[in-house]
């Protein structure tokens, strides 16, 4: 399976938190996904995940909020990035 990197960015903020976006375009979907993207969107500290969106073979699209994992309904790449940005902007430590 060929993967073409289409987005890669990492920001380390003044408070030490990290926002990282990595997206590849695939020549075929990664089952059970129906879209052609492999992605990892991370917000947290080294060793501590606040929010993460990713997909993997056999598991599909999902979202982590702290230690809670839930399915994520992928619509488009733009919606995914907007959802991630919303979570980062509105995140507050419990």
The number of C-alpha atoms within 13 Å of 92 and in the hemisphere containing its C-beta is: 2
Predicted confidence band of residue 91 (pLDDT cuts 50, 70, 90): confident
Please give the model's pTM, rounded to 2 decimal places: 0.90
8-64 pLDDT, tens digit each: 999 999 999 999 999 999 999 999 999 999 999 999 999 999 999 999 898 999 999
Per residue in 49-77, pLDDT tens? Answer: 999 999 989 899 999 998 899 999 999 99
CA 85 to chain centre: 10
Six-digit token pair at 27? 């020549």
């Amino acid at each position: 399976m060929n993967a073409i990197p289409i987005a890669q960015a990492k920001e380390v903020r003044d408070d030490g938190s990290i926002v990282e976006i990595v997206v590849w375009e695939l020549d075929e979907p990664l089952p059970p996904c129906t879209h052609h993207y492999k992605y990892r969107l991370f917000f947290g500290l080294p060793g501590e995940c606040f929010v993460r969106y990713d997909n993997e073979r056999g598991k599909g699209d999902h979202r982590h909020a702290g230690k809670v994992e839930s399915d994520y309904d992928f619509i488009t790449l733009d919606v995914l990035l907007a959802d991630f940005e919303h979570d980062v902007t509105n995140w507050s430590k419990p």
